[in-house]
Structure 1
């Protein structure tokens, strides 16, 4: 492995004296004597882009990562020239640029250092490929911590780690293994309770050293392209993540069934096996919304085909599965079998859609069908063609979702596991080699898939799943963390990967529950389901090599536990749906690491296990065999044990009992948690009442419930229901105010409020300032009442 020190000895070049400065509205340009140009673009008061050119020339400004809907606009921009430096002030931060060497220092308005260059920008000519290896080194502040970076299988705090981004088929990867399936070059820094973020928008292989080689230096570099990074100021981690998510985008709301439980395996076939599996779910009354068909449904692994012996009438099967509440999701890979009689192959050949090597021949690689060629998804014509290929599968046969796998792209029987670096790509009119396009290849494939799915599923919402991705891929699809292993270590890995992905702007994420490779025992499977139902995407998937991995595969005790937790997920669907709404509306991660939840508490900075599911449910998986509980850290505040209703004071580690049928689960005091009745699948029954669990707090707490038709696009026209609740509790009374928005009328007419922890016996009930009779609200002891969904105020008291 090449060290930073070795890199520094290789003839690095550095900027020297600034000789020219000019300003063009929100862009500032600093030019040095040796031809370096630094472009600083102030996008918002707290978001600034830094872009460096050498030899006086910028590359064309193009990125797949940046959302079309990014927010721009700032309140203040002032530039002053002083003897040693230029000082730039926005409404939130100051940026100092040294005249002698172009080094940058960023502070808050009180001149507290947030981030500063060590060597800053420097570069080395790439003699092997041309262009530059571009580098940036920053000072590591004392006690600084680092988070984010996507699907890394490492501790949530990356301090002391060295990682790289090169989308890789990493079958049965291990803890700290590098690289993995995704390239998300974004991290959050935290020091002295000030958070910032850096997004290095460069699609070449990128490297990050978080004070690994030298404890006072954090650096990042790329094998080519530009030094182009965005800086986000907090000071809260939530503001940093929100700004990054705004920059790279959010998905549409998924159909609610996509948030249900999904069952998959490599592979369910023939049709009878698929029907046996789905029938078993209904027989055992284990809720499930989707069944997956892996590559064996195809004819000889040819994408967009069906094996007519295994699946003689796909449309009939898909229709019958849908009548029983199952959505069908099919696998599509990028490798197209070389076969002149195969229509997809011939279309791509006729139109010149396959990737070529540097000297002209098509790139070939072996995947499941054997020798394949690969479409160039960075070509907009190819994406449009690929989107159109889904017509028969989606519009005619009726498949509900598509799963893009192997799209790093994965290539078998070659040391690199992927395409040759000299493969050529269009890159949307910016021709380049695979060195630049590799990390965005899977992203552009799933973008094309999404566009096809959206066209052919309309007016329903599409569901797309990807394995590979780059920053911004979250705009198009859900993702999962690839081919993990059925081990307790991988249960830990799955937990940290979900937290890290959510902090990296990509919330619609899950793992292969139970492990893809090898076989879990019943205890591990149960513990993994207990964790997986609290991940935004919830799917069991396995290789099938070592036995069955369905909910009923491990005996009656485990089956009952699995059913119990899947039912809990279905009860919590309105809460989960609201989490998704807040993610796309506010950029709020659906899962929150403890450091995200409370960065002021230094005890949270190195926690890996505990996380917030949404904003009000605290989850901590049991990650060791034969455990009857565990020690966990409870964040500051008061929390209700979900199982016992005991109220615990946070801010310390506590022992929490959790036998095989429990997971440590706590509800924030003051929370109002919406629930639906248990359904075997989304839409099985009409929701006739919304249940809301109300957890008493001596103080104020707000909660939200978002609802719509659960599919379709009417919600974009205002046909949604948004309930904002404000709870105020005192020892002798409790008030709840409801503020409503949206024109959607839910099917239910009443809300059942179920109270937890009331410190008083209810003596009076007022609704909208009128005292009501107990019978009219069906007061049940001291626990629950039923009221109109349209109430604006409720007051219960001991008086």
Structure 2
């Protein structure tokens, strides 16, 4: 344990200016590590709903007794927005309601106090831009309701009691406040305690705390003991502004499951919270997190999707404060009673959600689908998509806390070549710095970092280094002295610089909500400030929840103050987003806006996808944690964050050989593919187990690299149209009820289905193949056909997991696997074509320079690949774009080809008509067309001849 304490918090005190500072630092490290140790074994370090006063208050609201009424006489509107006053009859408070029609089947509902005592916080930078509005076609008013029509959709606002019903093509899909759980705690002055007159001669006894007199009685908030101040363990929250919680319920008629609101180590389909705590959205550093729980983790993305056989819809709760979400289903009592919605004399299935936030305003976007991919696109139209990464970021990443020194890095990189394994990125954790001072190097361990970087880049590889948001309080550290002198730190409630504890010991935190602070932070990445780095060094932003070891719930106190006077409680979930916003812009400037940045972040929020990839945090080398990586990344993917992965092999503990193999085989099918482990784990590079493990991991890595053209194409398509790179089965097979709860499988795009092995010692696994017999699935290794039955038992060996390609698809691959993606850039392509029962197949391929933003200037190729009968062709989809690629077509494998093919010829503008060699394999029904050798930038046709 003492070794662990030392390593988890060790500081290079040999560079301290004096021994006194070193002693203080070590004492502090011991204290903070004790805090972390407790966190590892006890959930008591994190609040339950009952321990959170606002959650407790919101959850106690009785269904069906809403005090809110729409004042129809105040209604006004323009071409896009309806406005009206909303009245709370219990408190007398008036609110302003705005309902706006937005582009692409979306509405926005915004509710705020009409005359607040001070402004309420509204989220910054989660939206990629001001949402594009749509025209309101008509507004119809009656005594009971107001109907707003826009395109095929309408919103019906009930006057008394207040409710909003959203219709898609005349079918009710979402109801807000149907259960009457809305709560909007107005901002108020602190009430004075009632003074009870003393009775002369009476014996004095201990009395309960006196009741308080409220300026606006009726909501009961003032009588809650945590309304105006709250304690949790040894921490005190002063709550200077008092209660200001907001809440709203949403019902989804016809839906059978709800999904989203990551990040949780739980199933993809959200579970009922009727008899347990709600799901919590509050970014926290949770050490060795538990599985199958709704407790908070590192990220909070408040988007929720409801799905049934007929429709998919969703809501985006635009709020960065601590949020709890209750989920109820048809099976839970009293959920459906509030919505009368009969079809053929029977009630539809439905689910309901109840969002409860500590502060802010009600700002919710209704995503009306109607299909899953429509709802996903509608969300990314609001918050953005991931920019196309450089290809190296889609390769394999090798990391550890920590590689010892410069020689260690070089030896590991050389070993990948020796063992014939591709690898693109080496990573350095905190030990590369000079005493945990970011933007510095340990001169003893890394005496010449530029030389180390050049040794990597000479083989096409990159380096990633970690930069955390905590700044060491060391008078000899220029970032600290600048931040102190320039007033860049987050402030305590008394106006002084906030001080907490993290890896360096005593630390303060840059107030990244301040544009001036972000500007300063960006300059730290300049080459003259972060010496020893080059344009081939990219960034890992960790511990940015923010993690504060001695803070409440291992994070920053809620009553510290940020730029603009906002409390941390208002902005907490967006802190990590602000760090990645600044880091992204810094990397853009550093390359003179020529290179696409790569950033990995642990903390994330709505909109984080525009700047960084995400991983699932400090998992463990256990089978259940391997299994959890799939639903966790699927949940993030449908919530806009496609670029997701998990620490391969597990961060904590030591995997055995079988678990290590299975984790690499699964990790190869997640977008971000990195091995990473704790400082006290055994070394676990792919060759450290035995020869068989080395061989199998080599196969997994090489398989990943062969599919890089598919990954790259999917990321470009995600950037353009918002479709997730990873998708749950129901996204493409929305009527197959059996698929609604499946999260041990996933789709890569719409053409590859992956079902890893998540249990030890098994010889077979159960696989669900969607398509209801209309679609066939082909084993990518053997091309064996499946699809006559939806669920089958598939044998597995240690060398193989079930992976299938869909009939009717064309998948591009590169089969010449080299040491890195840079070395493969100009290599030829192979097309794997699987004809459907009609002899057709389609696919796409995207090609550009793989590093720059020139593709945004039209320097790219986007190709439609098609097989129709006996003709396979490639057509350029975007005629205004062009790119001169050196890659050609090397081979075509056609599964289930037309019968009797004896030869083929290719026709293109530059080659004319060329005869091609073909070979048919009757054992797997594959026709191979060899060496077409046509440049991929040309349009061409291959005709198959009998």
TM-score by length of 2: 0.80
The residue correspondences of 1:374-385 to structure 2 (distance < 5 A) are 374-385=509-520
Structure 1: how far apart are the matches of 2:175 and 2:553? Answer: 36
Q: Cα 1:783–1:390, aligned 2, differ >3 Å: closer, same or farther?
A: same
Structure 1: how far apart are the matches of 2:596 and 2:162? Answer: 49
The residue correspondences of 1:326-725 to structure 2 (distance < 5 A) are 326-392=461-527, 397-398=533-534, 399-426=536-563, 430-458=564-592, 459-636=594-771, 637-649=775-787, 652-676=790-814, 677-685=816-824, 687-699=826-838, 700-725=840-865
Structure 2: how far apart are the matches of 1:77 and 1:655? Answer: 53
Q: Cα 1:297–1:160, aligned 2, differ >3 Å: closer, same or farther?
A: same
Structure 2: how far apart are the matches of 1:192 and 1:685? Answer: 43
Structure 2: how far apart are the matches of 1:709 and 1:113? Answer: 44
Checking the alignment, whether the CA contact within 8 Å between 1:760 and 1:798 is kept in structure 2 is no
User: Residue 79 of structure 2 is aligned with which of 25, 44, 67?
Assistant: 25
**Following TM superposition, by how much is the alpha carbon of 1:33 offset from its aligned partner in structure 2, in angstroms?**
4.2
User: Residue 136 of structure 1 is aligned with which of 245, 248, 259?
Assistant: 248
Structure 1: how far apart are the matches of 2:57 and 2:443? Answer: 58
Aligned residue for 1:42? 101
Aligned residue for 1:123? 184
Partner SS state of residue 167, structure 1:
coil
**Following TM superposition, by how much is the alpha carbon of 1:579 offset from its aligned partner in structure 2, in angstroms?**
0.7
Structure 2: how far apart are the matches of 1:710 and 1:17? Answer: 54
Structure 1: how far apart are the matches of 2:866 and 2:96? Answer: 52
Asked whether 1:145 is paired with 2:257, we answer: yes
Larger Rg: 2
**Following TM superposition, by how much is the alpha carbon of 1:479 offset from its aligned partner in structure 2, in angstroms?**
1.1
Q: Which structure 1 segments of 5+ residues have no match? A: none
Partner SS state of residue 567, structure 1:
helix
Checking the alignment, whether the CA contact within 8 Å between 2:75 and 2:84 is kept in structure 1 is yes
Aligned residue for 1:738? 875
**Following TM superposition, by how much is the alpha carbon of 1:776 offset from its aligned partner in structure 2, in angstroms?**
3.2
User: Residue 244 of structure 1 is aligned with which of 334, 354, 379?
Assistant: 379
Checking the alignment, whether the CA contact within 8 Å between 2:367 and 2:379 is kept in structure 1 is yes
Deviation string, structure 1 residues 403-455 (Cα, Å, up to 9, x no partner): 011010101134420111111011xxx43111012111111011111111111
**Following TM superposition, by how much is the alpha carbon of 1:153 offset from its aligned partner in structure 2, in angstroms?**
1.1
User: Residue 147 of structure 2 is aligned with which of 84, 87, 91?
Assistant: 87
Structure 1: how far apart are the matches of 2:69 and 2:914? Answer: 81
Deviation string, structure 1 residues 528-570 (Cα, Å, up to 9, x no partner): 1111111111100000312012111221111111111111111
The residue correspondences of 1:236-275 to structure 2 (distance < 5 A) are 236-275=371-410
Structure 2: how far apart are the matches of 1:343 and 1:187? Answer: 44
693-702 or 590-599, which deviates more? 693-702
Asked whether 1:175 is paired with 2:291, we answer: yes
Structure 2: how far apart are the matches of 1:143 and 1:232? Answer: 14
- Backbone CA RMSD of aligned residues: 2.4
**Following TM superposition, by how much is the alpha carbon of 1:683 offset from its aligned partner in structure 2, in angstroms?**
1.6
**Following TM superposition, by how much is the alpha carbon of 1:374 offset from its aligned partner in structure 2, in angstroms?**
0.6
Checking the alignment, whether the CA contact within 8 Å between 2:122 and 2:360 is kept in structure 1 is no
Deviation string, structure 1 residues 152-201 (Cα, Å, up to 9, x no partner): 21111114143011100012111133100001000101134211110101
Checking the alignment, whether the CA contact within 8 Å between 2:319 and 2:360 is kept in structure 1 is yes
TM-score by length of 1: 0.95
Partner SS state of residue 321, structure 1:
helix
Partner SS state of residue 862, structure 2:
strand
Structure 2: how far apart are the matches of 1:716 and 1:111? Answer: 40
**Following TM superposition, by how much is the alpha carbon of 1:113 offset from its aligned partner in structure 2, in angstroms?**
4.2
Q: Cα 1:612–1:309, aligned 2, differ >3 Å: closer, same or farther?
A: same
Q: Cα 1:60–1:417, aligned 2, differ >3 Å: closer, same or farther?
A: closer
Partner SS state of residue 211, structure 1:
strand
Deviation string, structure 1 residues 262-293 (Cα, Å, up to 9, x no partner): 00000002111111111111111110000001
Structure 2: how far apart are the matches of 1:640 and 1:720? Answer: 31
Deviation string, structure 1 residues 207-233 (Cα, Å, up to 9, x no partner): 111117866142111011111111011
Structure 2: how far apart are the matches of 1:132 and 1:795? Answer: 67
Structure 1: how far apart are the matches of 2:149 and 2:143? Answer: 17
Asked whether 1:74 is paired with 2:190, we answer: no
Q: Cα 1:282–1:659, aligned 2, differ >3 Å: closer, same or farther?
A: same
Partner SS state of residue 575, structure 1:
helix
2-11 or 469-478, which deviates more? 2-11
Asked whether 1:14 is paired with 2:67, we answer: yes
Structure 1: how far apart are the matches of 2:150 and 2:566? Answer: 37
Checking the alignment, whether the CA contact within 8 Å between 1:669 and 1:696 is kept in structure 2 is yes
Q: Cα 1:121–1:56, aligned 2, differ >3 Å: closer, same or farther?
A: farther
Checking the alignment, whether the CA contact within 8 Å between 1:760 and 1:797 is kept in structure 2 is no
Aligned residue for 1:184? 301
Structure 2: how far apart are the matches of 1:684 and 1:764? Answer: 33
Q: Cα 1:408–1:547, aligned 2, differ >3 Å: closer, same or farther?
A: same
Structure 2: how far apart are the matches of 1:32 and 1:595? Answer: 39
Q: Which structure 2 segments of 5+ residues have no match? A: 1-47, 89-93, 187-220, 222-226, 229-238, 336-351, 921-926
**Following TM superposition, by how much is the alpha carbon of 1:142 offset from its aligned partner in structure 2, in angstroms?**
6.0
Structure 1: how far apart are the matches of 2:328 and 2:394? Answer: 39
Structure 2: how far apart are the matches of 1:70 and 1:569? Answer: 38
**Following TM superposition, by how much is the alpha carbon of 1:10 offset from its aligned partner in structure 2, in angstroms?**
6.8
Structure 1: how far apart are the matches of 2:98 and 2:824? Answer: 57
Partner SS state of residue 481, structure 2:
helix
Structure 2: how far apart are the matches of 1:327 and 1:180? Answer: 29
Partner SS state of residue 180, structure 2:
strand
Checking the alignment, whether the CA contact within 8 Å between 1:21 and 1:28 is kept in structure 2 is yes
Structure 1: how far apart are the matches of 2:136 and 2:908? Answer: 47
Partner SS state of residue 69, structure 2:
coil
Partner SS state of residue 661, structure 1:
coil
Partner SS state of residue 554, structure 2:
coil
Structure 2: how far apart are the matches of 1:47 and 1:299? Answer: 50
Structure 2: how far apart are the matches of 1:553 and 1:594? Answer: 36
Aligned residue for 1:747? 886
Count of residue pairs brought into register by the alignment: 792
Q: Cα 1:333–1:63, aligned 2, differ >3 Å: closer, same or farther?
A: same
Deviation string, structure 1 residues 28-59 (Cα, Å, up to 9, x no partner): 11213441222101112511111112345595
Checking the alignment, whether the CA contact within 8 Å between 2:386 and 2:641 is kept in structure 1 is no
546-555 or 195-204, which deviates more? 546-555
